[in-house]
Amino acid sequence: MGLECIKAHVKINHWRVQMFRSYLYGYLNLFFISLSLTGSNELNYISRKYIEAADYLKLHNNKRRIFLKLCNLLGFVECYLYALIVTYDVIRIMTRKLYSPKVNAINASNDILAYGDGGWNLITLIDKSDICLDDVVFVTYPLRDNSMYRKYKHIDITLDLTYREICISYVYALRMIFFIKQKYGRRDVLFRSNSSLEYFLVSLFYIKHPEYKLCFINLLDRWAYLFGLLPNDKILIQHGMIVEGSSFIRKIGKVDMLYAFNDQQVRILKESILSNVGIIKYLRGLELTNCIQKKKNGKDDLLLICNHFFWEKEENIIKMLGKSKKVNVYIKPHPNDDVVPYSILASRYDMTLLGKTDFPKVDLAISYLSTLALEYEIAGVKVLLHSDHNFEEELKKVIQ
């Protein structure tokens, strides 16, 4: 038993530096992407981050104003807050483990491990590939909502890990919380580095299972770099569009199988984030439907694909489209966004607010550089992007 503990300790130490680096690579990618979207202005970036935090917490009116006023103070104490959160989470995890039976759903050599941080997106994308969902074991973290995985094979990582491994993850998380604040705290805030506890727990789980294939949908974040460095056979399903000429901190590594949207995205993925690709396959296209919310009045149908990051631009577009008598406008918020602001505008301008599963057939889609826009374009729908050089001119044609 003592020899096994020594072997496990040596194995974890071997991976420790790489795990820390992968977490930081993911953070730096997202930092520079967000900074570029706010015009490379760190003050604008930090202000935007405070607003995003308020949106994430779904704060409105007085609560929102109080939160935004207290944000500067929160920046000074966030490390200690995160440390309290991960301590509380570890207590919950260990209590759950103590009173739960050890159940291992990994029982076949052809099982594919897929970490369930993607929610429904993960299931939907696997379903768009030719991977059989019956061959997938969804790896779950107990403090997330995992209800969508109940009808599939799944395993709770904390039931597979030892108490010692959970304690190691806790110590690593505390180190990451204070390290990232010390190193990058002068230019950034609200790191949400309490997420590092989940990250390290998942890392140790996968390190224990190098014999299984793993499937992931992450391209640029900490999970992408973690899965990229693991020795398992890897299947990457593209989730998100990569823009031509993009550059990132470093490539995530080799994948044995890639499911992509089209040839152009395969080329861009190879140039920007993948050092080597084995088998290339393509995802099934988006299924457009005549949803019951569509208006039948002979006008053209226009889809506005939204993301709260571009709220000011989208608000102006909606106001401009509200003057048009030529089109029916359907607003599609990002699935992770608060729909209340969009709902207010949709009601004011007699537009239709779509749900998460609504993908109507339309004559034109207006969007930021989004995956959904690419899928609509592949489906044969004309797409007008915010970044198009003639965007304003084309938008005026729609309105007039």
Least confident of 94-103, 292-301, 383-392: 292-301
pLDDT exceeds 50 at position 225: yes
Torsion of CA 183, 187, 190, 193, to 10 degrees: -20
Angle at 378 between CA 377 and CA 380, to 5 degrees: 65
pLDDT exceeds 70 at position 105: no
Check residue 103 and give its pLDDT.
60
Check residue 1 and give its pLDDT.
45
Q: What is the largest CA-CA distance in the chain?
A: 78
* pLDDT digits 0-9 by tens, 171-188: 999 999 999 999 998 888
List the domains of the chain with CATH numbers. Answer: 2-282 (no CATH), 300-399 (3.40.50.720)
Could you tell me how far CA 59 lies from the centroid of its own chain? Answer: 22
Check residue 295 and give its pLDDT.
72
Give the neighbor-by-neighbor strand order of the sheet with 234-237: 154-156, 136-140, 112-115, 213-216, 234-237, 253-260, 274-282
Instruction: Report the distance separating Cα 172 and Cα 196, nearest Å.
Output: 8
> Please, what is the angle between helix 222-229 and helix 2-37, to 10°?
140
Of 298, 303, 345, 343, give the one whose Cα is nearest residue 325: 298
Structure confidence at residue 64 as a pLDDT band (50, 70, 90): confident
What is the SS3 assignment for 253?
A: strand
pLDDT exceeds 70 at position 291: no
Structure confidence at residue 12 as a pLDDT band (50, 70, 90): low
pLDDT exceeds 90 at position 376: yes
Mean pLDDT across 94-104 = 80
Average pLDDT, the chain: 88
Q: Which of the listed ranges 81-90, 96-105, 244-253 does the model predict with the highest average pLDDT?
A: 81-90
Q: Which two tokens stand for residue 35?
A: 């900074």
Better-predicted residue by pLDDT, 295 or 233: 233
Mean pLDDT across 265-290 = 92
Instruction: Report the distance separating Cα 151 and Cα 107, nearest Å.
Output: 17
Task: Outline where DSSP puts E strands in the chain.
Answer: 112-115, 136-140, 154-156, 213-216, 234-237, 253-260, 274-282, 300-305, 327-332, 352-353, 364-367, 382-385
pLDDT exceeds 80 at position 110: no
Of 386, 353, 354, give the one whose Cα is nearest residue 367: 386
Region of 58 please: left (phi>0), alpha (psi -120 to 50) or beta.
left
Check residue 159 and give its pLDDT.
87
Instruction: Report the distance separating Cα 222 and Cα 24, nearest Å.
Output: 7
pLDDT exceeds 60 at position 40: no
Query: The whole model's pTM is what?
Result: 0.86
